[in-house]
Amino acid sequence: MARTPARALGVVFLLAMTGSQVASGLDARPERFTALIVVSLAACAVAFAAAAWGPRRAVAAFGSAVLTGYAAEVIGVLTAFPFGDYRYSDVLWPQVGGVPVVVALAWGGMGLAAYAVAAAVAPAGGWARVCVGAGALTAWDLFLDPQMVRLHLWTWAENGVYRGVPLSNFAGWLLVSTLVMLVVGRICGDAGPGRGLLVLYTVMAVMETVAFAAVFDPPDPLVALAGAVTMGAFAAPAWRRAWRPAWRRAWPR
């Protein structure tokens, strides 16, 4: 897959994802759009990753992130580790081992986007890149979990302090996100960020912020603010680094 066609395909899937999110916000049953949004997200991430890193590394990195996320979800459903005690409803299908397939695809799609953010913020790689990527991916869950609980896509055994979500969930996300960054980094090495993936991460942050602030009924300013600030804290320095001229990157202040 040549880089220009891959990038164009990424734009198509990005528009499909955005359009699906808008449609879900206007529909009386927004959960019906979840699978379409996630599939578009995953396809967009793979296309942009192929344009930035090459198709083989993109597919391998995506697959490794999907398998890592899926394994963590299966263990989580069976043992309540590492996220806490939760169960998926029967809304999302198909399910394998009690885990919806689209959940694993979401780990893969946003895993690639978060790795691109980390590659921009921590170009030297190493544990700095792993930690930034894990934080960037976990930041997304400040939006994701409250929204999925709203839609009754999964339920927690005990009511948590953050819109019904327990703090153990975010500790689990940090752990699993770290594993995702490690396996993706093993494949991608010192690959650059890829601006398409940064766009995907940023668009997701903006769409979720608008949804919680003004679209959902009732709105939730707390989640809108928490997610926007946290994802923005990763997206802003990533864009700053990505747009710096090459000669300035070589001579940082």
Residue 164 domain-assigned?
A: yes
Q: At what angle do helices 195-210 and 221-243 cross, to 10 degrees?
A: 160
Q: Is 28 exposed, middle or buried (0-12, 13-18, 19+ CB in 10 A)?
A: exposed
> Do you know the residue count of the chain?
253
What is the domain range of residue 236? Answer: 59-241
Residue 160 domain-assigned?
A: yes
Residue 51 domain-assigned?
A: no
User: Is 139:234 a contact under the CB 8 Å cutoff?
Assistant: yes
Q: Assess whether the previous peptide bond of 123 is cis (omega < 30° from 0).
A: no
pLDDT tens-place values along the chain, 253 residues long: 568 899 999 999 999 999 999 999 999 999 999 999 999 999 999 999 999 999 999 999 999 999 999 999 999 999 999 999 999 999 999 999 999 999 999 999 999 999 999 999 999 999 999 999 999 999 999 999 999 999 999 999 999 999 999 999 999 999 999 999 999 999 998 888 899 999 999 999 999 999 999 999 999 999 999 999 999 999 999 999 988 754 354 444 4
Residue 9 domain-assigned?
A: no
In total, how many domains does the chain have? 1
Q: Which residues contact 37 (CB under 8 A, 6 or more apart)?
A: 17, 20, 21, 24
- Here the tokens at position 18 are 């955005």
- CA-based nearest residue to 249, from 151, 123, 129, 79: 123
Q: According to the model, what pLDDT value does residue 245 have?
A: 53
Residue 237 domain-assigned?
A: yes
Residue 38 domain-assigned?
A: no
Residue 46 domain-assigned?
A: no
Residue 82 domain-assigned?
A: yes
Q: Which residues contact 146 (CB under 8 A, 6 or more apart)?
A: 162, 163, 164, 165, 212, 220, 223
